[in-house]
Amino acid sequence: MRRGTRSHAPTRELRQEHRRFLRRLALLEKRLDQAEQGEIPMGRLRAMARRQARDLENHLRVEEEDLFPRLAHTDLGHPGGGIGTLLSEHALLRKYLNEFLSALDAGAAAPAGEAVAPARSFLWLIRDHIDKEDTVYFPRMDALLARSA
């Protein structure tokens, strides 16, 4: 079933996923710190990062293939209207997470150097992105979709 097709706000399920992401991000960050100190095996961090990548991709796909197209005709869909900004951030999130996974898969003994920078960039950007969507864009999107229903 498509999200947002019930009587609740179209972005409700996405916001709930955001809350779950934030809890898992805190754990991922803690594990990243532990791996940097050599306290946990890299395989454990790698598995967490892969799960995060899979869940993130599923979440972004819903936004990009379901939510955003329904708003293309609104001011958010026009150049500079917001959706373009969110899509750019989606691309950066994918880039940082893929760089982190590639460094882990390359067999780095600890997530130092080439793995740390994209991991930290990913953590910073995703938290900022979630805050932006939850406080600015999703309320606006819900209002626009309610008007067009």
Check residue 148 and give left, alpha or beta (phi > 0: left; psi -120 to 50: alpha): alpha
Q: Give percent of the chain with pLDDT exceeding 70.
A: 87
Q: Give every CB contact of residue 78 below 8 A, 6+ residues apart in sequence.
A: none
- Specify the amino acid at residue 112: A
- pLDDT given for residue 12 in this prediction: 95
State pTM to two decimals: 0.87
Of 33, 45, 48, 136, the closest CA to residue 89 belongs to 136
Which pLDDT band holds residue 32 (cuts at 50, 70, 90)?
confident
Cα–Cα distance, 25 to 29 (Å, whole number): 6
Contact 5, 146 (CB under 8 A): no
Contact 43, 98 (CB under 8 A): no
- pLDDT given for residue 108 in this prediction: 54
Beta-carbon count within 10 A of 28 CB: 21
- pLDDT given for residue 80 in this prediction: 84
Does the pLDDT at position 8 exceed 60?
A: yes
Give mean pLDDT, residues 25-37: 88
DSSP for residue 74: S
The radius of gyration of the chain from alpha carbons, rounded to an integer in Å, stands at 17
DSSP for residue 60: H
Least confident of 4-8, 81-85, 132-136: 4-8
